[in-house]
Amino acid sequence: MINNEPLDLGTVANMLNFISAECDRETWTRVLMAIKSEFGDSGKGVAQDWSATAESFKQDAFNATWKSIKAGGGVTIATLVSMAKDNGFKFAPMSKADKQRLRDEQKQRKAQRKQEEEQQKRETALNQRATKAQAVDMLARAVRCNPEHPYLNKKGVIGSPLDNVYQIGLNLIVPVYQFTDAMRTIKRPYEPGITAPEYEPWNLQQISATGFKWFLKSGRVKGGFFPVRLSYECREFILCEGVATGLTIAGFYERYANVICAFNAANLKPVAQAFKQAFPTAAFTIAADNDRDTERTTGVNVGLVKAKAAAKAIDCVMNYPEFAESEAGSDWNDRFLLDCPQGLQRPVVGRGVAVNEIWGRV
DSSP label of 252: I
Nearest to 46, CA basis, from 24, 76, 15: 15
Each residue of 107-128: pLDDT tens digit? 787 787 788 778 888 998 999 9
Nearest to 27, CA basis, from 8, 50, 59, 2: 50
pLDDT in tens, the chain (362 residues): 444 677 888 889 988 999 999 999 889 999 999 999 888 888 999 999 999 999 889 999 999 999 888 866 678 889 999 998 999 888 878 677 767 877 777 778 778 778 877 888 899 899 999 999 999 999 999 999 999 999 999 999 877 889 999 999 999 999 999 999 887 777 767 667 677 789 999 999 999 999 999 999 999 999 999 999 998 888 899 999 999 999 999 998 888 899 999 999 999 999 999 999 999 999 999 999 999 998 888 889 999 999 999 999 999 999 999 999 999 999 999 999 998 876 654 433 333 333 344 455 43
Nearest to 250, CA basis, from 227, 273, 278: 227
Domain ranges (residues) in the chain: 2-116, 145-164+180-198+217-356
Nearest to 87, CA basis, from 6, 27, 25, 10: 27
CA 6 to chain centre: 35
Count of Cβ atoms closer than 10 Å to residue 141 Cβ = 9
Let me know how many helices (H) and strands (E) the chain has, helices first: 13, 10
Nearest to 127, CA basis, from 268, 62, 221: 221
Nearest to 207, CA basis, from 243, 261, 153, 160: 243
**Distance between CA 3 and CA 92 in Å, rounded?**
13
CA distances from 264 to 49, 176, 187, 294 (A): 31, 12, 34, 14
Nearest to 2, CA basis, from 68, 82, 108: 82
**Distance between CA 293 and CA 299 in Å, rounded?**
9
- Plot region of 330 (φ>0 → left; ψ -120 to 50 → alpha; else → beta): alpha
Which residues lie across from 238 on neighbouring strands? 259, 285
Each residue of 126-157: pLDDT tens digit? 999 999 999 999 999 999 999 999 999 999 98
